[in-house]
């Protein structure tokens, strides 16, 4: 599904309060891990530091963040080389069907992401969602990696 349509469909579910129908799965890798570029298939095959699943009512504390996800946040970007997937967010319905996914990153320095395989400029709300559910020991390094470290 096209990213704009997928995000607007998701926004409709959020506005209806239909959280029982939504699951977020985050595959997280520390950004400081240096290696060759990773693909989403590599991550789904088990190459990740942490897998977090947030379902239904567990999404309620993050409702304000989720309400910021819609097609208005999408600014198309140029494709800039190979994907180096360190973080993969999968929004799916309660039957396990993909609504949309986010791959971070196609360009590390600019934070370009892929949403349903199309490149977009850095989208802060996805960082906010990740930080909201990451354990603090992982969040500390992630904040530093994305330039949000207060130290």
C-beta of residue 115 within 8 angstroms of C-beta of residue 102? yes
- Over range 28-44, report the average pLDDT: 84
pLDDT at 150: 61
In this prediction, residue 34 has a pLDDT band, given cuts at 50, 70 and 90, of low
Residues 60, 105, 26: CA angle, nearest 5 degrees: 30
Please give the full DSSP string across 41-82, using - where no structure is assigned: HHHHTT--SEEEEEEGGGGGGGHHHHTT-SGGG--B----S-
Which residues touch 76 (CB under 8 Å, ≥6 apart)?
118, 119, 120, 121
pLDDT at 89: 97
64-117 pLDDT, tens digit each = 999 999 999 999 998 767 788 899 999 999 889 999 999 998 666 678 899 999
């Amino acid at each position: 599904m096209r990213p704009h349509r997928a995000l607007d469909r998701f926004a409709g579910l959020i506005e209806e309060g239909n959280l029982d129908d939504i699951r977020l799965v985050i595959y997280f890798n520390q950004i400081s891990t240096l290696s060759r570029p990773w693909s989403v298939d590599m991550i789904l095959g088990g190459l990740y530091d942490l897998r977090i699943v947030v379902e239904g009512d567990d999404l309620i504390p993050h409702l304000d963040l989720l309400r910021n996800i819609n097609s208005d946040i999408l600014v198309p970007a140029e494709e800039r080389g190979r994907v180096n997937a360190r973080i993969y967010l999968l929004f799916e319905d309660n039957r396990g069907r993909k609504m949309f996914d986010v791959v971070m990153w196609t360009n590390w320095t600019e934070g370009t992401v892929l949403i349903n395989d199309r490149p977009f400029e850095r989208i802060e709300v996805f960082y906010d969602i990740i930080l909201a559910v990451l354990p603090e020991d992982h969040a500390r390094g992630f904040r530093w990696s994305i330039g949000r470290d207060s130290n």
